[in-house]
Amino acid sequence: MSQLQNFRDQFPLLEQQVNGKPLIYFDNGATTQKPSSVIAASGQFYQSQNANVHRASHAISTRATQAFEETRRQVQAFIGAQYSHEVIWTSGTTHAINLIAQCWALENLTAGDEIIISVAEHHANIVPWQVVAEQTGARLVAVGLTDKGIVDLADFETCLTHRTKLVAVNHIANVTGMINPIEAIIARAKEVGAKTLIDGAQAIAHLPINVTELDCDFYVFSAHKMYGPTGLGVLYAKQALLMQMKPYQYGGEMIKTVSLKTGTVFNELPFKFEAGTPNIVGVVAFAKAIELIKDNFDFIHQQDAALSQYLFDKLTDTDGVELVFSRQADIPLYAFVVNNHHNQDVSSYLDSQGIAIRAGHHCAMPLMESLHMNGCLRVSLAPYNTMAEIDIFIDKLTVFIKGETDSCLDTGSGNELATSIRSESMEMNEIIERFTQAKSWDQKHREIMLLGKSFERMDKTLRSAQSLISGCESQAWLVAIKQGETFYFYADSDAKIVRGLLRITLAAYQHKTAAQIQAFDINAYFEKLGLLSHLSPSRGNGLLAIVEKIKALALS
C-alpha cells in the first residue's frame, strides 16, 4: 500500500458519496477532515475518562487532567515554545486574537498609536483591531500585497514608524496560499519596539513552526485546520507578556482564591486565561492530530508540494480560468474566477458533481475590495487529496465552462424544460412536476440552472439598496407591483442558480393577495421540490430571505 493510500485511509469521511458521486473534498482551507484516531479518542474519553480537570481529587479526574496537560506539552514541543504555560487553550484562532485584543491591546494602546495589518487578513484579524482602534484612539494601517500575493515589504517599511505598537499579519493568507516574509516583518517590528502577532491558521498544517526561533510575541491557530477537533484553538504568547496581561473572562479554573472580604486572586499561567470548563475532550483528541502530523511530516510536505504544482499547472492550462494570483502557491490553495460565469454557479454545479470547493469573499472582504472583485472561487487541498481527484475536478470544471451541461439537462421526460417555460405564466404545479421527475440532486440542480437561464432579467434601474434582498448569499433584488388586490414580483441576480431559486419562489406568490401570501406554506412547497435538504445552509437561508422580502413587500 502506498504512503498516500495509507494516509488517506485514516479519514473515513472521504469514502462517502455526495449527490450520488464520490466525494472530492477541496475545502480544506475552511476545515480539514478528521482521522479515525481523533474520532476514536473523542469517544474513548467520554467512555473511560470523562471528568472535569484539575480541581477534583478522584482517579478519573486525575487521568483526564494528565491527558489534558500532556496535550499542552505536545503543543509546546510542536511549535517550539519555551514553556508549556505559554500555550493557552482557546475556542479557535478568532478567540485567540480577541483575547489578545482585550487583554493586551486595550491595556497598552493609546491615542496616536498604530496597528499594522495587511489587506489580506481574515476578518478575525481585522475587526478586533478596528474595535480596539475606536476604543483607544489608535490608528489601523493596512499594508498592501505584491503581485505575487505576499505582504509588500516596501509598503510595510513605509507604514512602520515609532508609533507602531502592534503588527498583526498572517503567516499564509487564506486566499493567496503564499508564505509571507514574517521573519523580516518580526525583525523590523522589534526595531521600533512593536509587538508581533502571527495568524498561523492556514500555516500550521503545512509548515514546521518554531515560535522561539521566529521570536514573535503571539502566534495563534486552530485545531480544526490541522485534522483536530472543532471548537479548539491555541494562543501562544511569550511568558513575560502573559504575566503582564490581565484576564477578561472570569470564573472557574482561572481563579485561585475568592473572598468577599479581600477580593479575588487570579490563578497562575496558563490557567489565568482559561475560564470555565474547557473543551477537555477536544484537547485530549487534539493530541492524536499532532501525532498524525509528526508521524507523516515528510510525506505531508512532499505531497503538499506535488499537489500545489499539479493543481497550478492544471488550472493555468484550463481555458476560461483566471487565477487571482498567477504564481504557484506555497501550499495547494488557489483562488480563481471563471470568465463570464458567476462564482456561485460554478461552485453549485461542482457540488452537484460531488466536488466541494468554496465560493465567496472568504472572510477577506478588504482583499476583494483591493483587487476590485466581488468574490472568487477557492480550492484548497490536503495531503489526502490525489492527482486523480484534481483531474476529475478539472474535467467537470471544463464541462461547465464549455456549456456542455446544457446539452444533458433533459431529465428523461422527452420535453426540455426550456420549452416548457411559458414566459411568466408558468404554474407552480409545473415546477413541482418537473422536480418530482428529477430524482437526484444532480437533476434537480440542472432544473434550477435552466430556470435561472430562462428567467427574464430585471431592468438594471430597479437594482437599488431598497430592492436588495438582505441575507442572500449572492446579490439579488426584488420589487413588487400591486395590481388591484394582487401582487406581481420582479427579481434578479447575477448568479443563474439564484435566479433559478427566485423563479421557483416567485411561482408560489405571483398574483396572490397579501393575505394569501402570508398564509401560503412555503416550507411544504420547498419540501415537495426536495430543495432545502440539498442546499447549503447559506443558500437555504438566502432562499428564506427571498420569502421574507416578498412577505414584507406584500405587507407594506
Distance CA 121, CA 434 (A): 45
Asked if 520 contacts 531 with a C-beta cutoff of 8 angstroms, the reply is: no
Q: How many CA atoms lie within 13 Å of 422's alpha carbon, on the beta-carbon side?
A: 6
Asked if 198 contacts 155 with a C-beta cutoff of 8 angstroms, the reply is: no
CA 262 to chain centroid, in Å, comes to 46
| Mode of pairing for the β-strands spanning 333-338 and 376-380 | antiparallel
Distance CA 76, CA 470 (A): 45
Q: What angle, 0 to 180 degrees and rounded to 10, lies between the N-to-C axes of helices 428-437 and 522-529?
A: 30
Residue 363 annotated among the catalytic residues of the structure? yes
- The amino acid at residue 10 is Q
Residue tagged active-site, from 159, 216, 363, 408: 363
Q: Which three cell numbers stand for residue 458?
A: 430585471
List of residues 6+ apart from 22 with CB closer than 8 A:
354
Distance CA 60, CA 504 (A): 56
Choose among 169, 291, 172: nearest CA to 226. Answer: 291
Distance CA 335, CA 312 (A): 11
Distance CA 122, CA 365 (A): 8
Distance CA 290, CA 123 (A): 27
The SS3 call for residue 39 is helix
Active site residues: 363
